Amino acid sequence: MKNLLEGVEEILLMGPGPSCVPPEVYAALSRKTIGHLDPYFLEIMEEVKMMLRNIMNTRNEVTIPLSGTGSAGMEACFVNLVEPGDRVLILINGVFGQRMREVATRLGASVDFLEFTWGTPVIPKEVAQKLRDTSYRIVAVVHAETSTGVLNPVAEIGTLMKGKDAIYLVDTVTSLGGSEVRMDDWNIDALYSGTQKCLSCPPGLAPLSFSEKAMAKLNGRKTKVPNWYLDLSLIYNYWGKNRVYHHTAPVNMLYGLYQALYLILQEGPEKVFARHRESHEVLVEGLEGMGLKMLVDAPYRLPMLNTVFSPQGIDELAVRKRLRSEFKIEIGGGLGPLAGKVWRIGLMGHTARKENVARFLAALKTTLGK
């Protein structure tokens, strides 16, 4: 019988995720599996929690990786914090803000939203007005909108949230590990992320953190959390001091995350962020040098996800296919209204290196016949 895994090639992952995985993380994933209640594993779990607090800049005790991808982190935040009828405000400027609205709606929340043009950031002034007019239980926003490449002003919105009863919920799936996230300073109460972007670990875990205020909302619920698997009180019974079995932790994925966080802290978060910014600058310069136009205005661009218009008259899908087959490079296409119009070029985590940018730009030039 043919083993398909023998045909898996090394691809330079420059799409919207997953990103390239460093050899040390692959090595960590293949270490011997031990029991998920083994005392040595418990030590590893404690370190993972500590390193996550470090990278999120939070002192929250409840800071853990959930089993599941970034969407599990999103779902966990809403399912634990929303009770039917709660007024929730979602700030939307792309696919992932829309997904938040869908998740909150399914839970019976009374969902209100502010929508901003895709490719532009959330405008804090409009949020401030909304917060003056209505009292919300939750306000949610995506920090780095992967569908457009826009960085949202999470710190500024956090200032508006100060002193408010509402829980401030932020998606950092694409930002964590690639640019600064300051959970406590930005007044964020609930935050989630994913391993497969700037953390440079394969997809499979969703780091999450809840502030004391978020935990108080969870503990004060009148109704049970409607999802057993993502019930944070049950999960924390395992990740906290009690170590009570809830579900079998994905042991080797957690080795991978441990190693990925270890590498970021060893290199130094500031240096990692600078590497992302510098790679982004070289990429933009190269793209503009070819006459291509970026979707997002310079001040709001994400370093780790670059959205550029594909040239008129060019079959953008054919370009992506050739990059993949001939040059072993993956980039992403557009989503929603941007489908067929843009390419999304990721510079996430281990991918964010100038040599990768140079290889991509050379391949794109050849493909476009420039």
Rule CB under 6 A: choose which of 203, 250, 269, 311 binds ligand PLP.
203
| Residue 194 engages ligand PLP in binding (rule: CB under 6 A) | yes
Q: How far is it, in rounded angstroms, from Cα 357 to Cα 359? A: 5
Shortest Cβ distance from residue 19 to ligand PLP (Å)? 11
Site string for ligand PLP, 25-44 (x = CB under 6 A): --------------------
| Residue 188 engages ligand PLP in binding (rule: CB under 6 A) | no
| Residue 190 engages ligand PLP in binding (rule: CB under 6 A) | no
Number of H helices, E strands in the chain: 12, 14
The tokens for 335 are: 């989503």
* CA-atom Rg of the chain in angstroms: 21
CB 209 within 8 A of CB 226: no
* Residue of 202, 193, 148 lying closest to 174 (CA atoms): 193
| Residue 16 engages ligand PLP in binding (rule: CB under 6 A) | yes
Q: At what angle do helices 269-289 and 251-267 cross, to 10 degrees?
A: 80
| Residue 69 engages ligand PLP in binding (rule: CB under 6 A) | yes
Q: Which of residues 121-180 bind ligand PLP (CB under 6 A)?
A: 142, 146, 171, 173-174
| Residue 110 engages ligand PLP in binding (rule: CB under 6 A) | no
Angstrom CA distances, 136 to 47, 112, 167, 186, 349, stand at 35, 9, 8, 18, 35
Shortest Cβ distance from residue 338 to ligand PLP (Å)? 14
CB 146 within 8 A of CB 174: yes
The tokens for 301 are: 């661009």
Q: What number of CA atoms fall less than 13 Å from residue 52's CA on the CB side?
A: 28
Shortest Cβ distance from residue 337 to ligand PLP (Å)? 17
Shortest Cβ distance from residue 96 to ligand PLP (Å)? 4
Q: Which of 64-72, 102-110, 241-249, 308-316 is the region at the interface with ligand PLP (rule: CB under 6 A)? A: 64-72
Of the pair 60, 93, the CB lying nearest ligand PLP is at 93
Would you tell me which residues interact with ligand PLP (CB under 6 A)?
Answer: 16-17, 69-71, 74, 96, 142, 146, 171, 173-174, 194, 196, 203
